[in-house]
Amino acid sequence: MGLRSFIIPAVDIKDGKAVRLFKGDPNAVTVYGDSPVEMAKQWEEKGAKHLHIVDLDGAFEGKPRNYRIVEQIVKAVSIPVEFGGGLRSFEAVRTMIDIGVERVVIGSLAYQNPEEFRRIVEEFPGRVVVGIDAKDGRVAIKGWLEKTEFTPLEFAQKYDDMDIWGFLYTDVNRDGALVGPNLEGTKILAEHLKHPVIASGGVGSVEDVKKLYGLRDYGVYGVVVGKALYEGKIKLEELED
């Protein structure tokens, strides 16, 4: 796997547009395109091997709001799509799986309703990614608005024995800020967990990607990149496949 395959481009959807937030703040929005579908196709054309789609409206409202757009993305690209944002019920997850989403990212539900979460994992083995959104060293839920008492590792270890796909670790304080990823936090998780870890938040350069790429032997599978791609700080098509 080269650097290009290691990067998972993010397409964040809000009010029907492709956007990025700054540090998870719903009021700090940059719009990068009117068509999330066209944005997804662009990343595939540039060599992406998978996509990370987030329904920001769903994350804040508690249920997916941009279902039709996600369905259009899945139909428009031939690479696997990972989806998160407002998946807080079995039915919501089943809907996304039914439209062709490869993996679902679940964070808040895992914390708030472990029984429902276990039911989802049993029904869709190997297709659930546990979303770990960290804020000031604690796991945050409900669109990053509420902090729990758990550290990222404590939270992850509750699910590591289940038949999940793996974990998505986001340092919310770095997300969209281009200040560099939380290498230490990512490494700690990957070292201590059996399942793979996808990193997210803070990547601002190819050097940042290379540092995370160097953690593959610990179990880091890839990195979700948004703003650095949209602002041309990383050019996917110029990287080794």
Catalytic residues: 12, 133
- Both tokens assigned to 211: 């540092």
Rg for the chain, CA atoms, rounded: 16
| DSSP labels, the chain | --HHHHEEEEEEEETTEEEEEETTEEEEEEEEES-HHHHHHHHHHTT-S-EEEEEHHHHHHTS-S-HHHHHHHHHH-SS-EEEESS--SHHHHHHHHHTT-SEEEESHHHHH-HHHHHHHHHHSTT-EEEEEEEETTEEEETTTTEE-S--HHHHHHTTTTSS--EEEEEEGGGTTT-S---HHHHHHHHHH-SS-EEEES---SHHHHHHHHTTGGGTEEEEEE-HHHHTTSS-GGGS--
Distance CA 131, CA 197 (A): 10
C-alpha 74: how far from chain center: 16
